[in-house]
Chains A and B, each alone.
Chain A
Amino acid sequence: MSDTTRNFAYFAFIAVLIIGTGFIQSWNSALFVLNFGLISAIMALGVNLQWGFAGLFNVGIMGFVALGGLATVLISMPPETEAWSAGGLRVVVALILGAATVVGAIVAYGALPKGRVRVVGMVAILIIGFFVYRAVFDGGVQAVEAINPANAGYLGGLGLPVLLAWPVGGVLAAGAAWIIGKTALGLRSDYLAIATLGIAEIIIAIMKNEDWLARGVKNVVGLPRPAPYEIDLQNDPDFVERAAGLGLDPVTASTLWVKLIYAGLFAVVLIALFMLAQRALHSPWGRMMRAIRDNEVAAEAMGKDVTARHLQVFVLGSAICGIAGAMMTTLDGQLTPGTYQPLRFTFLVWVMVIVGGSGSNLGAVLGGFLIWWLWVMVEPIGLGLMQLITSGMAEGFWLRAHLLESAAHMRLLTMGVVLLLVLRFSPRGLIPEK
């Protein structure tokens, strides 16, 4: 069997899985799986760029995804003019002061002579800067959060079209990745992993606590959407007529249609990014990346700037994760910082990349769809399995109740088993790198 037919068979299998979900459960859940599968595939592409191309171990994907989500709010929500006039400027000035402090400390570190003077100077700049920053910042935040706290209490966004948030999400994530990469990429691989793990937690902590930014755990709901609202479609006689022509009732037809629009938008992004990644992989740049990955010392001896290339690919991969994050928040229609969990957003994406085949873009896409389908379906399958196992047990037996209740936790177990099986028996993944 040639590679092409094998790959075709894999994707045909995915299609069967999704269509099968449509027949067995409902078309709405099939489209749900498809949409999140598309987003997962994009995230996996981003991680594959870092890990598969360059061998960088990034476990902070959740942070970049969350930054993408934040971009959706900052771009698409209407600005809260009252909050801006109350304290918006003050907050912005405070942030600039804070950034200036850090830059000042870095400049001082470079400019001052080595020794005690340098340490004292830097620490003094940081401490004074911190207190000035807090003095300006706290008042501004209080003023902003006092305005209409039940519905707003934050600065709002720019009121621009939501689709613009996708590239901006990528830029935001890229910016964060640049800062992390600048500090942590020169270090060993384990350290990068731990640094990224930490930064992701911090990004989530900031988004949960800084209410002036995006309302924190109070969530921003009702984000503008690129697709029409179901209720408008249902009230549109043309649409109802066409739905009736297909034998669908207007409610189902409208939900399906909206999901299909999203699927179309996501597919365009996925295909574009996939083509770019594929071009990158087969370009001289891609060959250089793989050379660096396989032997850093040799590549460096050949005159390649390893740290700079690592930084480059780290920023690019993170930007893709940011785009995916913005898309996901757009699809959800709300930003809920409390729901970002590393197991779901970081480690699950890793399972996708490993299972699909690290270093292969097609593999990443395949892994994205396959593992996402599994992640969604393990719960009903697990429940069915548990019902089968417990069917022989007496009603009210404690183990029966416990097993049925625990079926929901089968997910993590399954993902771990899948990851270990692939690592053990097919370490190059389903579609290996050529």
Chain B
Amino acid sequence: MDLLNAFVTLSNFVLIPAIAYGSQLALGALGVTLIYGILRFSNFAHGDTMAFGTMATILITWAFQAAGISAGPLPTALLALPFGIAACALLILATDRGIYRFYRTQKAKPIIFVMVSLGVMFIMNGLVRFIIGPNDQRFSDGERFIISVREFKALTGLKEGLAIKTTQGLTVITAVIVVALLFYFLNRTRTGKSMRAYSDNEDLALLSGINPERVVMVTWLIVAALATVAGVLYGLDKSFKPFVYFQLLLPIFASAIVGGLGNPLGAIAGGFTIAFSEVMITYAWKKVANYTLPDALAPDGLAQLLSTDYKFAVSFVILLIVLLFRPTGLFAGKSV
């Protein structure tokens, strides 16, 4: 019974949150890795792209809520999501037209692209703060829990409870669907294959008659969709605050690099690696230890390895370890 209780506690505080967070990171890292694979630069504006897409979704959600449209037990934001993606895609395509394309025709060095993405980051960040303000916004509605602590206890008769938030369930399901669609697209469709060809060898792809502008456009569209979905899921799960989204850049980059930049499968593995280590290292293990260890060995303190404020440090240390010992990431990525 104690072991079961320990497992339930572990699931409640570590496994479920880490799976949800990992899915969000994986979606974000997929965006970064795609841009890296096709456009060949690290996009510092990605966090703010996520913020912009989420903001658009929030505004539309509010409009829906005001109009009395809802998705029943699911959050209204799901209905607004396609519109948010569209808004984000419009902005990103305009950015590409107005800004990035010039440097592409010039064949500028990757580092120039990174600089330009810094400028784009400033503008998007400013835009988001300008439109919705810098404060916390909550926009999740509908049923809060798939199963709440009390229901779980009544159901199983265990001492420890397990809660699964709707948003957590939703995050995982959405992530699985999105990733499945993405891999189907990349591996099975003509456009997806031409994208992979372009990513593997640009010159050869051009020789085979692949239109680079089209590949780039499709990439941006996919990135807009991934960024918005990731941002909205994160916002539903926690809350929306522009600065937090900017800070997500670090774990997202870490995920993409740990997995191997430019490798979509790696981005997913990286996202979960980072999420699980962040949550596990900053979790106070006392309760789990009390259940599993004999009384004599039970810890006096919280048995927390690092305080939660150091979660960035965790993702960073993992990033460093991977870079030092496997510079191309867990799954072989590419390097420019």
Contact = CB atoms under 8 A, between A and B. Distances in A.
B115 A183 contact: no
A420 B119 CA distance: 6
A354 B116 CA distance: 11
Interface in A151-196: 183-184, 187-191, 193-195
Interface in A384-434: 405-406, 409-417, 419-420, 423-424, 427
Contacts, number: 128
Nearest to B132: A406
Contacts of B209: none
Nearest to A197: B250
A414 to B, nearest CB: 8
B201 interface: no
A350 interface: yes
A417 B310 CA distance: 34
Contacts of B253: 194, 197
B204 interface: no
Interface in A258-285: none
B121 interface: yes
Interface string A194-212: 1101110110010011000
A57 interface: yes
Nearest to A411: B126
A136 to B, nearest CB: 14
Nearest to B251: A198
Contacts of A11: none
B296 interface: no
B125 A412 contact: yes
Contacts of A413: 122-123, 126-127, 130
Majority secondary structure of chain B interface residues (helix, strand, loop or mixed): helix
Given A184-B323, A198-B315, A209-B309, A416 B126 contact: yes
B327 A415 contact: no
Interface in A128-166: 130, 138
Given A202-B316, A205-B313, A354-B115, A412 B129 contact: yes
B122 A347 contact: yes
B121 A409 contact: no
A409 B135 CA distance: 12
Given A350-B118, A416-B126, A419-B122, A191 B307 contact: no
Given A416-B120, A420-B99, A410 B126 contact: yes
B316 A415 contact: no
A343 interface: yes
B130 A201 contact: no
A205 B250 CA distance: 14
B254 A198 contact: yes
B250 A201 contact: yes
Interface string B234-252: 0000000001001101100
Interface in A340-378: 341-343, 347, 350-351, 354
B17 to A, nearest CB: 20
Contacts of A416: 119-126
B111 interface: yes
Nearest to A204: B312
Nearest to B307: A209
Contact of A198 (B112, B129, B316): B316
Nearest to A420: B119
A190 B254 CA distance: 12
Interface string A3-27: 0000000000000000000000000
A198 B250 CA distance: 6
A423 B116 contact: yes
Contact of B123 (A59, A194, A201, A417): A417
Majority secondary structure of chain A interface residues (helix, strand, loop or mixed): helix
Contact of A195 (B115, B130, B313, B319): B319
Given A412-B126, A419-B122, A423-B116, A209 B42 contact: no
Interface string A22-47: 00000000000000000000000000
A132 to B, nearest CB: 14
Nearest to A55: B111
A342 B112 CA distance: 20
A97 B271 CA distance: 33
B123 A420 contact: yes
A347 B121 contact: yes
B189 interface: no
B24 to A, nearest CB: 19
Given A350-B118, A416-B126, A194 B319 contact: yes
Nearest to B324: A183
A409 B126 contact: yes
A137 to B, nearest CB: 12
Interface in A75-104: none
Interface string B105-142: 00000111011101111111111011101100000000
Contacts of B257: 191, 194
Nearest to A405: B133
Given A189-B111, A190-B42, A209-B310, A406 B254 contact: no
Contact of A205 (B116, B118, B123, B310): B310
B147 to A, nearest CB: 34
A197 B313 CA distance: 11
Among B110, B115, B253, B327, chain A packs the most CB atoms within 10 A around the CB of B115
A407 to B, nearest CB: 9
Contacts of A130: 305
A394 B307 CA distance: 51
Interface in B257-316: 257, 261, 301, 305, 307, 309-310, 312-313, 315-316
Given A202-B310, A205-B310, A416-B120, 8 more contacts: A183-B320, A187-B323, A195-B316, A195-B319, A209-B307, A409-B129, A410-B126, A412-B126
20 contacts: A55-B111, A130-B305, A187-B327, A189-B110, A189-B111, A194-B250, A195-B319, A198-B312, A199-B316, A202-B310, A205-B312, A209-B309, A350-B118, A351-B122, A406-B131, A412-B122, A416-B123, A416-B126, A417-B119, A423-B116
Q: Which 9 A-B pairs have the closest CB atoms?
A: A416-B122, A413-B126, A412-B126, A416-B123, A198-B316, A419-B119, A409-B129, A420-B119, A190-B42
